[in-house]
Each structure stands twice: as structure tokens, then as C-alpha cells.
Structure 1
Amino acid sequence: MLIDSELLLQYGAETTTVNAAETIFSEGEKPRFYYQIMNGRIKLNHYDEDGKELIQSVLSAGQSVCELLLFIEEKYPVNAETLSTCEIIKITKDKFFELLAKHPDVSLDINKFLSERLYQKFVMMQNNISLQPEVRIVGMLNYFKSYTKNTEKYSFEVYLTRKQMASITGLRIETVIRTIKKMEKEGIVKLINSKIFY
């Protein structure tokens, strides 16, 4: 967990359960809460002018949701939608800053976390301009695996569908499927019952 849930509750946080395929916040809304996922998965997405979904990220238990926008006066550039039933703890923006002011160690942890996320995002974005599908997919897998802190080969079970992987990398689903099979032959990933391990 990025911030201990007991500490969040001490500052007035509330725990709520959100069903799958529901919206937590929408693009264009003003950030008013700090959200942390206790259980479940959330996708951050955007729809282009043709209605095509572009997935920016997929978040899971222990992670926070767009917390960096609490530090600036900007609206959400993405939607946060649940991929599964989620248990979420949320705290108002003012209580969140009160917590940070009284717990500088937590503030440092958040700064470190944000720095790591930005670094990995920049690397993934650089990979996404490659014309080689394998480079894009490996960049994406490295990004999501970096959350686990586990560097062992095949230790990360990829929870994304082929369609979600295509949306994140800007590739066609067919290209993702073909490239994953090629990566398995090369020993980059392992497939077990259609699940990808990286």
C-alpha cells in the first residue's frame, strides 16, 4: 500500500465498494479526493474523436489513482473505470494534505513513487514510438512489472487482455497476438493456459 489504510482512516477516509464497469471519475472533472485501491483493478482511459478507447494505465491493489493531480489545479485528462469489483479507500483533498503535512515520511514516499511512475512512463512512451511491435510490448510489460518490484523472469502474471495491450501500445489486436507468440518462442514471455507471464 502506498499509504497505510489505518492512517488514512485516522484522517477521515472512507472505504467504498464499486462494481465492475463503473466510473470513479470522468475526464474534465476537478480532482477532489485521494483514491487508493484496496482490492480490484482500475483502468485510466480516454476516448478519441472517433470513440476509440485509449488505455493510459491499469492500476491494481495498493496503488493510488491520479494522485499527482491533487498537487496542481488541473482537471482530469482521463476517466477512471473499474475493470472488476473494487474496494477503494478515499479521502478529501484537504484531509490528504493535512496528513502529508503531519507525516513528512509519507510525503517523501509519495514523491519517490511519483518519480518512479514518471520515469517508467517516459520509458514506455519512448518504446511506443518504435515501429517494432516487440519493443512496444516489452516496454509496456516493463512498465507494469515495475510496480511489483520483482525482477525474476516469468514472475509477473500479465492481467491485461490482448485488446487492452493493443490499446496501450497503439497496436492492432492481431499484431499483439502474433507478437506474443513470437516472444514466447524467443523465451521473452511464457504462456500458461493463454495467460502471459513476463
Structure 2
Amino acid sequence: MLIPQELLNKYGAETETYPSSHIIFHEGDTPKYYYQIVEGRIKLNHYNDEGKELIFAILEKGLSVCELLLFIDKTYPVNAKTFGECTVIKLSKKSFEKLLDENPQTSRDINKFISERLYYKYIMLQNNSSLRPHVRVKGALDYYKSFSDKTDKFSYEIPLTRQQLASLTALRVETVIRTVKKLEKEGVLKIINRKIFV
């Protein structure tokens, strides 16, 4: 967990369980809560003018959701939608600020987490500007593994379908499927029961 649940509870956090495909917040909403995933997964997405879904991230247990927007006066640029049933702990913005003020180590941990996330976002942006599909796909896989403490080769299961990888990298699904097979032949990843491991 990014912030221990006991500490969040101490400052008045509430735990909520949402059904599959529940929208926690919409693009354009004003951030009012710090959200942290207890169980399940949440995707951050946006729909372009043509109605095509673009996925920016898929967040798993222990991660926070768009916490950086609690530090600035901006609305959400994305939607947050659950994958399957999802349990989230949420803390009001005011209480979150108080928690950080009174717990400097937690504040440093949040700063480090945001910095790491931004670093890997820059790397992903660089990769997604490439015309080579294998650079885009490998960049997305590396980005997801960066949030895991599993560092051994083929120890981390990528929590994305081929369709989600396509949405994340702005590639066609067919291109992603071919690219994943190519990366497997090159020893970059392993496919076990149709799941991708890096």
C-alpha cells in the first residue's frame, strides 16, 4: 500500500466497494478525494472525438488514483473506471492534506511515487512517439512492470489484454498481437496461458 490503511483510517478515510464498470470520477470532475485501491483494478481512460477509447493507465491494488491532482486546481483529464468489483479507500482532500502535513515521511513517499510515475510517463511518451510498434509495446510493458517489486525476468504478469495494450499504445490490435509474438521470439517476454509475463 502506498499509504498504510490504518493511517488513512486515522484521518477519517472511508472504504467503498464498487461493481464492475463503475465510474469513480469523470473527466472534468473536480478532485475532492484521495483514492487508494484495496482490491481490484481501475483504468484511467479518455474517449477522443471519434469515440475511440484511449487508456492511460491500469492501476492495481495498493496504488493511488490521480493523487497528483490534489495538489493543483485542475479538473480530472481522465475517467476512472473499475475492472470487476473493486474496493477503494477514500479520504477527503482536506484530510489528505492534514495527513501529509503531520506525517513528513508519508509526504516524501508520495513525492517519490509521483516522481517515479512521471519519469515512466515521459519514457512512455517517448516510446509512443516511435513509428516502430515493438518500441511502443515494450515501453508499455516496462511501464507496468515498474510499479511491481518483481524484478526477475518473466516474474511479472502484465494485467492487460491485447486490446488494452492497443488502446495504450495507439496501435491496432492486430499489430499488437504480431508484435507480442515477435517480442516472445526475441526473448523479451513469455506467454503463459495467453498471459504476458515480463
TM-score (norm 1): 0.99
Aligned residue pairs, count: 198
Do residues 23 (structure 1) and 18 (structure 2) align? no
Map of 2:138 onto structure 1: 138
Do residues 36 (structure 1) and 36 (structure 2) align? yes
Map of 2:8 onto structure 1: 8
- Structure 2 unaligned blocks of 5 or more: none
Map of 1:70 onto structure 2: 70
**DSSP 3-state at the match of 1:98:** helix
TM-score (norm 2): 0.99
- For the residues of structure 2 that align with 1:118 and 1:149, how far apart are their CA atoms? 18
Shift, 1:142, TM fit: 0.7
Shift, 1:151, TM fit: 2.0
Map of 1:194 onto structure 2: 194
Map of 1:95 onto structure 2: 95
Shift, 1:152, TM fit: 1.1
Map of 1:84 onto structure 2: 84
- For the residues of structure 1 that align with 2:168 and 2:69, how far apart are their CA atoms? 21
Map of 1:180 onto structure 2: 180
Map of 1:125 onto structure 2: 125
Do residues 147 (structure 1) and 150 (structure 2) align? no
**DSSP 3-state at the match of 1:157:** coil
Map of 1:45 onto structure 2: 45
- Structure 1 unaligned blocks of 5 or more: none
**CA offsets, 1:20-54, max 9 Å, x none?**
11100000000000000001000000000111000
Of 181-190 and 64-73, the range deviating more from structure 2: 181-190
Shift, 1:150, TM fit: 2.4
Letter in 1 for 2:39: N
**DSSP 3-state at the match of 2:177:** helix
Shift, 1:159, TM fit: 1.2
**CA offsets, 1:46-81, max 9 Å, x none?**
000111000000000000000000000000000000
**CA offsets, 1:139-179, max 9 Å, x none?**
01111100003221101101101000000001000000011
Letter in 1 for 2:172: R
Map of 2:112 onto structure 1: 112
Map of 2:161 onto structure 1: 161
**CA offsets, 1:60-119, max 9 Å, x none?**
000000000000000000000001211100000000001111101100000000000000
Percent identity between matched residues is 59
- For the residues of structure 2 that align with 1:141 and 1:194, how far apart are their CA atoms? 15
Describe how 1:48-59 pairs up with structure 2 within 5 A: 48-59=48-59
